[in-house]
Amino acid sequence: MNSNTDQKNKLSTTTILENKEIAPGVFVLKYKKIKNFKPGQYIGLTTDLSVTPRLYTIASGVNSNEIQILYNIKDDGWLTPRLSEIKPGSDLYITDPEGSFIDNETPAWWIASGTGIAPFSAMFRSGLVKNKTLIHGGRYTHSFYFENEFIPILGKNYIRCCSQENAEGLFSGRLTRYLQDIKEIPGNCRFFLCGSPEMVVEVRDLLIKRGVEYDKIIAEIYF
Ligand SMILES: Cc1cc2nc3c(=O)[nH]c(=O)nc-3n(C[C@H](O)[C@H](O)[C@H](O)COP(=O)(O)OP(=O)(O)OC[C@H]3O[C@@H](n4cnc5c(N)ncnc54)[C@H](O)[C@@H]3O)c2cc1C
């Protein structure tokens, strides 16, 4: 059996329900759930059986019958420009959920850049709220995906750091500056980091410099 056949055997077919642009170049894709998952896990996804699936974290809660994927278009990428054009009713090929970026009820800070908010959205929508602080970094005022769900429930434990624009309620600057500026970093909690390699590396270094133990930092890097 060649690797193409191996790959096809691992993929399940589902149907796209919706594919909506929620901010410039950023989409929420919805498809019918066919496998259970744990909040924080990702799936492989492709629109063409001959093309290697790309990885995406599930953004929806465990009790929903629809799976949501939050993605942004990579102009020079293969899948995302095509995915952005795909219509409801089309087939989508997906792998089983995988991954160990999984939180529990103990205190944690969730730190995300861009579409790295997806696993925290899944955790939040699955009921993890108590003892959680969510810090999201984005460039523009429209970069804070799902903010309407987070604001009323997380309140002051939801911090939006906006690097290119100013607006009421947003911290002006990158999330690394926010983390540098705050007086105290708690010692008794875990830190979950998700997003670009640059953000994850920078935040990990910063937290360690500020006294956080290495094994309290859990990271998921989007490459
Ligand atoms: C665990 C995990 C979870 C993720 N979850 C999400 C998510 O929820 N949402 C999200 O938006 N993204 C997520 N990502 C990132 C996502 O998988 C891809 O980076 C992105 O969607 C790329 O898709 P694409 O086919 O458009 O681009 P690709 O064709 O894969 O290209 C991606 C980038 O790599 C470059 N590239 C491609 N091939 C080569 C090569 N041979 N040599 C050098 N450079 C190359 C391209 O120019 C482009 O900039 C996740 C990644 C991981 C690892």
**Which pLDDT score is estimated for 1?**
46
Those residues with Cβ within 8 angstroms of residue 210's Cβ, 6 or more apart along the chain or in another chain: 179, 185
Report, as an integer, the average pLDDT of 16-22. Answer: 98
Report the pocket of ligand 1 as residue ranges, CB < 6 Å.
42, 54-57, 70-72, 74, 76-80, 115, 118, 220, 222-223
How far apart are alpha carbons 57 and 83 in whole angstroms? 15
- Looking at the domain assignment, is residue 103 inside a domain? no
Q: Supply the residue whose CA is at minimum distance from atom 51 of ligand 1.
A: 222
Residue 46: which domain range? 3-94
Flag whether pLDDT at 179 surpasses 90.
yes
Classify residue 86 by burial, with Cβ atoms within 10 Å: 0-12, 13-18, 19+: middle
From residue 114, how far is each of 60, 163, 199, 219, 220 by CA, in Å?
16, 12, 10, 15, 13
Residues 188 and 217 in one domain: yes
Angle formed at CA 120 by CA 115 and CA 125, multiple of 5 degrees: 115
Q: How many angstroms does the Cα of residue 123 sit away from the middle of ligand 1? A: 23
Q: What is the pLDDT of residues 108-145, one digit of tens each?
A: 999 999 999 999 999 999 999 999 999 999 999 999 99
Ligand 1 pocket test, pick from 48, 50, 54 with the greatest ligand atom count within 8 Å of Cβ, gives 54
Residues 117 and 186 in one domain: yes
Band of residue 9 on the pLDDT scale cut at 50, 70, 90: low
Q: Supply the residue whose CA is at minimum distance from atom 25 of ligand 1.
A: 79
**Which pLDDT score is estimated for 48?**
94
- Looking at the domain assignment, is residue 101 inside a domain? no
Residues 19 and 119 in one domain: no
The whole model's pTM is what? 0.94
Residues 81 and 170 in one domain: no
Domain's final residue, options 24, 59, 94: 94
- Kindly report the CATH number assigned to the domain that includes residue 67: 2.40.30.10
- Kindly report the CATH number assigned to the domain that includes residue 210: 3.40.50.80
Domain count, the chain: 2
- Would you call 186 helix, strand, or coil by DSSP? coil
Flag whether pLDDT at 97 surpasses 60.
yes
Residues 130 and 217 in one domain: yes
Residues 86 and 121 in one domain: no
Q: Supply the residue whose CA is at minimum distance from atom 19 of ligand 1.
A: 223
Band of residue 76 on the pLDDT scale cut at 50, 70, 90: very high
The answer to whether 109 touches 48, Cβ cutoff 8 Å, is no
Q: How many angstroms does the Cα of residue 206 sit away from the middle of ligand 1? A: 26
